[in-house]
């Protein structure tokens, strides 16, 4: 009898502090996950999004890895951050196994934007720090922040908050 060995890909996590396994073939199927309404109020008006929510540690580890189908008005909200709640803390994200550029928006406990890391480089393993304690992190399609005039200090609100 012959055996054939199959190597399965090991996915590194969206957060460089922990890891999990993911299936790249099913990554885009996550796009059908439940979404919530999120609004960013900027100097040029309100910008509405429908975003997925990553609440659990496993969801936050996976993030938008392997995704190539991020809509202009979509994204992912990591809330509460850190998973499970607690006091806001400094965050650090990376782009390992993420083929699409992202805008990573770090949100303070009062809902204001602390920092925007625009067009994070796909597949890059360089940590992207928040620079201060945050209560949530929003990932949008790369370039959306600049295109919409979203800036640090703008207010972010969402369903359930």
The CATH number of whichever domain residue 68 belongs to comes to 2.60.120.1140
Residue 12 in domain: no
Rounded to whole angstroms, the Cα distance separating 96 from 17 reads 12
Tally of domains within the chain = 1
Q: Is 4 among the domain residues?
A: no
15 within some domain: no
Instruction: Give 161's pLDDT tier (boundaries 50, 70, 90).
Output: confident
pLDDT in tens, 55-109: 999 999 999 999 999 999 999 999 999 888 889 999 999 999 999 999 999 999 9
**pLDDT score, position 33:** 65
CA–CA distances in Å: residue 134 to residues 62, 96, 111, 113, 126: 19, 22, 9, 9, 19
- Which pLDDT does position 146 carry in this prediction? 98
The whole domain housing 43 covers: 32-158
- What is the number of other CB atoms lying within 10 angstroms of the CB of residue 38? 25
Average pLDDT over residues 118-122: 97
Q: Is residue 10 part of a domain?
A: no
The reported pTM is 0.81
């Amino acid at each position: 009898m012959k055996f054939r060995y199959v190597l399965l890909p090991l996915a590194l996590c969206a957060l460089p502090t922990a890891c999990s396994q993911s299936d790249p073939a099913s990554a885009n199927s996550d796009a059908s996950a439940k979404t919530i309404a999120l609004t960013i109020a900027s100097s040029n008006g309100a910008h509405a999004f429908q975003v997925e929510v990553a609440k659990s540690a496993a969801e936050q580890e996976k993030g938008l890895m392997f995704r190539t189908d991020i809509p202009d008005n979509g994204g992912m909200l990591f809330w509460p951050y850190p998973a499970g709640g607690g006091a806001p803390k400094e965050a650090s994200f990376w782009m390992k196994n993420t083929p699409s550029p992202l805008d990573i928006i770090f949100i303070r406990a009062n809902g204001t934007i602390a920092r925007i890391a625009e067009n994070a480089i796909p597949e890059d393993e360089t940590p992207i720090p928040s620079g201060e304690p945050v209560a949530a992190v929003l990932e949008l399609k790369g370039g959306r922040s600049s295109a919409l005039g979203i800036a640090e200090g703008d207010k972010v609100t969402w369903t359930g908050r």
